[in-house]
Homo-oligomer: A and B are copies of this chain.
Amino acid sequence: MTGTLSTTAERLYLSMKELPIVSPHGHCDPSWFAQNQPFANPAALLVTPDHYVFRMLYAQGIPMADLGIGAPGAQADPREVFRLFAAHWHLFLGTPTRLWMEYVLRETLQVSQPLTAQTADAIYDDISERLQQAEFLPRALFERFNIETLATTDSALDDLAHHKSLRASHWPGRVIPTFRPDGVLDPLDPNFAANLAQLAKITDHSLDSFDSYLAALRMRRAEFIDCGATATDHAIDIFFLGPLYLSVAKGTATQEEARRFYGHMLIEMAQMSIEDGLVMQLHAGSRRNTNRTILDRFGRDMGADIPLTTDWVNGLDALLNRVGNSTKLRLILFTLDETTYAHALAPMAGHWPCLRIGPPWWFHDSANGIARYFDQVVETAGYFNLAGFNDDTRAFLSIPARHDLWRRGVALHLSHQIERGAFGLSGAEDLAPLLAVDLARQAYRIEV
Within 8 A of B (CB), among A349-402: 349-353, 355, 363-364, 366-369, 372, 375-376, 378-385
Whole-angstrom distance between the alpha carbons of A60 and B304 in the complex?
38
Inter-chain contact B363/A347, CB cutoff 8 Å: yes
Whole-angstrom distance between the alpha carbons of A91 and B317 in the complex?
25
- Most chain B C-beta atoms within 10 Å of own C-beta, residue among A4, A309, A421: A421
Q: Could you list 17 examples of A-B contacts with CB < 8 Å?
A: A58-B351, A59-B351, A60-B384, A91-B382, A93-B382, A93-B423, A93-B427, A94-B378, A94-B379, A95-B380, A96-B379, A287-B313, A293-B321, A307-B344, A309-B311, A309-B339, A372-B376
Inter-chain contact A55/B344, CB cutoff 8 Å: no
How many chain A residues sit at the interface, stated as a range, is 35 or more
With A59-B349, A290-B317, A367-B421 known, 6 other A-B pairs at CB within 8 A are A3-B418, A3-B419, A91-B384, A95-B382, A309-B343, A366-B380
- Most chain B C-beta atoms within 10 Å of own C-beta, residue among A96, A384, A412, A420: A420
Whole-angstrom distance between the alpha carbons of A329 and B244 in the complex?
46
Q: Which residues of B contact A294 (CB under 8 A)?
A: 325
Inter-chain contact A383/B94, CB cutoff 8 Å: yes
Inter-chain contact A95/B344, CB cutoff 8 Å: no
Give A contacts to B, CB under 8 Å. 1-4, 55-56, 58-61, 90-96, 98-99, 287, 290-294, 303-309, 311, 313-314, 317, 320-321, 324-325, 327, 336-339, 342-344, 346-353, 355, 363-364, 366-369, 372, 375-376, 378-385, 408, 412, 417-424, 427, 430-431
Inter-chain contact B355/A385, CB cutoff 8 Å: no
Q: How far is the CB of A113 from chain B (nearest CB, A)?
A: 16
Inter-chain contact B383/A93, CB cutoff 8 Å: yes
Whole-angstrom distance between the alpha carbons of A144 and B362 in the complex?
47
Taking a contact as CB atoms closer than 8 A, the residue among B60, B91, B382 that contacts A353 in the complex is B60
Inter-chain contact A4/B419, CB cutoff 8 Å: yes
Q: Which residues of B contact A350 (CB under 8 A)?
A: 55-56, 59
Whole-angstrom distance between the alpha carbons of A324 and B304 in the complex?
12
- State the oligomeric state as a number of copies: 3
Q: A59-B351, A95-B380 given as contacts; is B431 within 8 A of A324 (CB)?
A: no
Whole-angstrom distance between the alpha carbons of A343 and B427 in the complex?
33
Inter-chain contact A306/B351, CB cutoff 8 Å: yes
Inter-chain contact B61/A327, CB cutoff 8 Å: yes
Q: Which residues of B contact A421 (CB under 8 A)?
A: 1-4, 99, 367, 408
Whole-angstrom distance between the alpha carbons of A311 and B364 in the complex?
19
- Least CB separation from A339: chain B residue: B339
Inter-chain contact A363/B338, CB cutoff 8 Å: no
Q: A292-B321, A324-B291, A367-B422 given as contacts; is B94 within 8 A of A352 (CB)?
A: no
Q: Which residues of B contact A378 (CB under 8 A)?
A: 94-95, 368
Taking a contact as CB atoms closer than 8 A, the residue among B2, B92, B306, B372 that contacts A382 in the complex is B92
- Most chain B C-beta atoms within 10 Å of own C-beta, residue among A313, A342, A369, A430: A342
Whole-angstrom distance between the alpha carbons of A413 and B244 in the complex?
51
Inter-chain contact B347/A307, CB cutoff 8 Å: yes
Inter-chain contact B376/A368, CB cutoff 8 Å: yes
- Least CB separation from A307: chain B residue: B343
Taking a contact as CB atoms closer than 8 A, the residue among B94, B306, B355 that contacts A417 in the complex is B94
Q: Which residues of B contact A311 (CB under 8 A)?
A: 309
- Least CB separation from A369: chain B residue: B379
Inter-chain contact A94/B55, CB cutoff 8 Å: no
Whole-angstrom distance between the alpha carbons of A272 and B364 in the complex?
36
- Least CB separation from A6: chain B residue: B419
Q: Which residues of B contact A353 (CB under 8 A)?
A: 58-61
Q: How far is the CB of A436 from chain B (nearest CB, A)?
A: 16
Inter-chain contact A347/B94, CB cutoff 8 Å: no
Q: How far is the CB of A284 from chain B (nearest CB, A)?
A: 12
Whole-angstrom distance between the alpha carbons of A383 and B88 in the complex?
13
Inter-chain contact A343/B321, CB cutoff 8 Å: no
Whole-angstrom distance between the alpha carbons of A320 and B295 in the complex?
13
Whole-angstrom distance between the alpha carbons of A424 and B3 in the complex?
8
Q: Which residues of B contact A324 (CB under 8 A)?
A: 291
